[in-house]
Amino acid sequence: MILFDRVTKVYPNQMVALSGLNLHIQPKEFVTIVGSSGAGKSTLIKLLTREEVHTSGKIIVGGLDYDTIKARDVPLVRRRIGVVFQDFKLLQNRRVGENVAFALEVSGARGREIKRAVPKMLQLVGLAQKEQNFPHELSGGERQRVAIARALIRQPKILIADEPTGNLDPKNAWEIIELLLKINRFGTTVLLTTHNKEIVNALKRRVITIQRGKIIKDEEQGRYTLEGGK
Amino acid sequence: MLQFWRVLTAGSRNFMRNMWLSTAATAVMTITLTIIIISFISNSALTSTIKGVTNKIDVSLYLKDTITTDQRDGFQHALESNPNVESVKYVSKDQALELYKQKNKDNPTLIQGLQFAGNPLPASFSVKAKDPKHLQGIIDVANQDQFKTLLDPTAPPSYSGQNKDTINRIVRVSNFFKSTGLVASVIFVVISTLIIFNTIRMAIFTRREEIEIMKLVGATKWFIRGPFIFEAALYGIVAAVIAVVLSYALLLGGAPKLASYIDVKSTIDFFRSYPLLVIFGELIIGICIGAFSSILAMSRYLKL
């Protein structure tokens, strides 16, 4: 599903973010990526969403070779991957339903299709009653659910969750992780980055540890082994 | 089509959301478009005024009382063969007296005096030129030896109707107004471009989070840029409508007062006959200014 072959990313200021990184993630896997700040996690995600372009090596996602992507195809690449962030990135002046619908609108879905899909998705993430609320009326956990619903509405094969629990209390954090596991059970490949030691250890799923742009550990049913995890 | 409609909806929503900024940008655009129409109106009115005035210029050649009919016909024929001559009208002594009496009918002493003096007025040719700027050729015909002797030596050829210097002054003044209108239009186009540029720049800044989200969910570049362009075009559309209404009100309301100074009739006729052309022209100008400014702002501040 995701293949990184000796991928290197050097930023214009000569900072090497990833150096010869090899990574292979199978379809329907649930993978957690851990690493201290500046280890290269964010760069890895930015390469996947094509916010950054790799300097060398090969990236293939869902059969698509990133070397062949033209600038105008980048939006299409992004529509194939759902992403959720620590800060939710919701449109504050739009209702929950509109936020979720937005992802379908940009890809040209018809109004009828949107009306049908949005309530279903909100039901899946447990927000069926909140469709008409604005984001500021929701708790942190609920906001993250909206973000997940938006990421999933186009039924991507891959969901990237970049520190999705960073702003949440433990109870809400767990609910979000459970939601991610549920989504994974439905067949979506989930890529999670987190600093939450407790979550990583409890998940008992594949854990990839990155340090200084390289993978230093890749274990099935791994554990959080870095210093300073929450 | 669906996407296009969504872009338009998003653009209108942004227009409404930034009501203050939109109002300011629309106001400046309205002033600009009104100035453009007024400049057009004054240009067209001044042109037709000048045309009307210069049409009145003719050259009067005063003839000796002793001239024979043959001589007169020969002279008239020579004048008519000049390529710059539009028409030659013979005014006899009696007609000249009649005209003089009519002109001075409020001055009975003058007319009474004439009765004692007999008819001192000479007969004349009133020559109308095709191009009033080049009257010298007509004078040259009259100055040929064979005709010069037929002219009344006490009354040299004159420009009747209006005085030539006055006409020249009118032409200069109206040219000044025409170029002032043009300069004002250009200045205001630049000002409104800058203001809309700034409005869109601020809009990009306040909506940077939204833009980021749009990118994130896979919006195409034109799906992101479109609303900004439409928002700016909307300033132009609203402004064009207001400017056209305003200009029509000014022109039709002010016409009776203006009519005594300049010739606004043909301009009013134009505005009455082609309202769609006027509004369409203004819409095009407004939309172009808006779209151009927003594209300029995005090329600098919206990196996708």
pLDDT one-digit tens code per residue, A4-25: 999 999 999 999 999 999 999 9
Q: What is the pLDDT of residue B162?
A: 47
Q: Is the pLDDT of residue B292 over 90?
A: yes
What's the CA gap between B293 and B286, in Å, rounded?
Answer: 11
CA distance to partner chain A, nearest, from residue B1 (Å): 9
pLDDT (average), residues B126-152: 79
CA distance to partner chain B, nearest, from residue A75 (Å): 4
Do the interacting molecules here have an ipTM over 0.90? Answer: no
pLDDT (average), residues B172-176: 82
CA distance to partner chain B, nearest, from residue A85 (Å): 11
B26's tokens? 């629309």
Residue of A nearest to B226 (CA): A106
Q: What is the pLDDT of residue B96?
A: 85
State pLDDT tens for residues B233-246.
999 999 999 999 99
Domain boundaries, chain A: 1-80+156-230, 91-154
The average confidence (pLDDT) of chain A is: 91
CATH architecture of A1-80+156-230: 3-Layer(aba) Sandwich (3.40)
Residue of A nearest to B218 (CA): A75
Spell out the residues 6+ positions from residue A50 whose beta carbon is closer than 8 angstroms to its own.
A66, A69, A74, A77, A78
CA angle A96, A193, A214 (to 5 degrees): 150
Which domains are delineated in chain B? Answer: 2-53+167-301 (no CATH), 58-161 (3.30.70.3040)
Residue of A nearest to B219 (CA): A106
Chain A residues with CB within 8 Å of chain B CB? 49, 51, 72, 75-79, 83, 89-91, 93, 102-103, 105-108, 110, 150, 154
> Which of B2, B207, B214, B217 is the best residue to mutate to test the A interface, defined by the most A CB atoms within 10 Å of its own CB?
B217
Contact A106 B210 (CB under 8 A): no
State pLDDT tens for residues B123-137.
888 888 777 667 777
Q: What is the pLDDT of residue B296?
A: 92
CA distance to partner chain B, nearest, from residue A203 (Å): 28
Contact B3 A49 (CB under 8 A): no
A222's tokens? 């791994």
State pLDDT tens for residues A127-146.
999 999 999 999 999 999 99
Q: SS3 string of chain B?
A: CHHHHHHHHHHHHHHHHCHHHHHHHHHHHHHHHHHHHHHHHHHHHHHHHHHHHHHCCEEEEEECCCCCHHHHHHHHHHHHCCCCEEEEEEECHHHHHHHHHHHCCCCHHHHHHHHHHCCCCCCEEEEEECCCCCCHHHHHHHCCHHHHCCECCCCCCEECCCCHHHHHHHHHHHHHHHHHHHHHHHHHHHHHHHHHHHHHHHHHHHCHHHHHHHHHCCCCHHHHHHHHHHHHHHHHHHHHHHHHHHHHHHHHHHHHHHCCCCCCHHHHHHHHHCHHHHHHHHHHHHHHHHHHHHHHHHHHHCCC
Spell out the residues 6+ positions from residue A11 whose beta carbon is closer than 8 angstroms to its own.
A17
Burial (CB count <10 Å: 0-12, 13-18, 19+), residue A2: buried
- Please tell me which of the candidates B209, B212, B223 has its beta carbon nearest to residue A106: B223
User: Which residues on chain A are in Cβ contact (under 8 Å) with B221?
Assistant: 72, 75
> Which of A86, A105, A110 is the best residue to mutate to test the B interface, defined by the most B CB atoms within 10 Å of its own CB?
A105
User: Which residues on chain B are in Cβ contact (under 8 Å) with A83?
Assistant: 216
CA distance to partner chain A, nearest, from residue B27 (Å): 27
pLDDT (average), residues A95-111: 90
Contact A107 B209 (CB under 8 A): no
CA angle B258, B262, B267 (to 5 degrees): 85
- Please tell me which of the candidates B2, B212, B216 has its beta carbon nearest to residue A108: B2
Q: Is the pLDDT of residue B118 over 50?
A: yes
CA angle A137, A140, A145 (to 5 degrees): 95
